[in-house]
Amino acid sequence: MADIEVPVVIVGGSLVGLSAAMLLGQHGVRSLAVEYHRGTAIHPRAAHATQRTMEIFRAVGLEERIRKRSAEQFVQNGGVVAVATLVGGVTRQFIADLNAGIRDVSPCERVFLSQSALEPLLSERALELGASLRFATEVIGAEEGANGVTAELRARDTGETSRVHAQYLIAADGAHSRIRQRLGIPMQGHPTFSKSITIYLRADLRPLLREQSWAVVYVDNAQCVDSSASKSPSTGPSWWSIPRAMRCTR
C-alpha cells in the first residue's frame, strides 16, 4: 500500500471537485482530486454559467476557453422560450437575451455551456495549476487524526489500494455523498423534485428554427404533456438534449 502526502485531498472530480482543485492551484496549494467515474461527464447536464461564475473563471485564466467552447455549442446571448411546436411560434418568453441588462456591471457575461464540455476545461486548467487527478478511483475510508485526515483509496481497475495523508479533505462527491453519510451529516429540504430521462440526439433543425436566437426551448403540447427543454447551438447539424419528466406510479 503506497502512501501519498498532499495538503488537500478532494473526494469527487466533477464540477465542484475540479473547480476546488483549480482554485487551490491558483493559490499555490497542491491537491489530489479522486473521482469514482473513469473520466469527466459524458452527458450534457447543467448548461448555464452565471456572471459571477464567469468572473471566477476569468480570474484563473479560463474565461476565453469557456467562451470559445460555448460558441461551438450554443447561440450566444440566446433566449429561453416556450413553444407548442418549433414551427408554431413562441407561447411564452422567459428570457429574451441571456445578458440583457447586466453588461454594464461586469466585464464578464453569462454563457451556456454543457457540463460535458466544461469539465474537460476545468480538468485541463487544474492540472496546469499543479493539481493531481485520479479517475476510476474510489475512497473506501477516511479518518480524521491529530495531524489531519487519512483517506484510503482503491483503484477500480486493479484493486490496488493506497493511503493519502492530507491536512484537509473536501467532500465534493455529490448529493449522495458517502463522505457526508459517514460523518452523519443529514440532508435538509425536499429530497426529490422529479424523475426524468434525457434524450440526446443530433439533428439539423435550422429550417424549423428560422434563425431564431433561442438557446433553451421548452416544448409543451398535448403529445408532450410534461415540459421538455432543448438546447440549440449556433450553426449546422447539432446536438440536442431533451429532458423528459417521467410519471411514476410507484
Neighbours of 92 (CB within 10 A): 10
d(CA 159, CA 138): 10
d(CA 35, CA 132): 11
d(CA 187, CA 172): 14
3 state DSSP class of 94 = strand
At 202, the amino acid letter reads R
d(CA 95, CA 229): 14
* Catalytic status, residue 218: yes
The catalytically annotated residue of 36, 168, 200, 218 is 218
Please give the DSSP secondary-structure letter assigned to residue 243: E
List Cβ neighbours of 220 (8 Å cut-off, separation of 6 or more): 82, 83, 84, 91, 227, 228
Task: Say if CB 217 and CB 94 are below 8 A apart.
Answer: no
Strands 137-145 vs 79-83: parallel, antiparallel or unpaired: unpaired
Residues designated as active site? 218
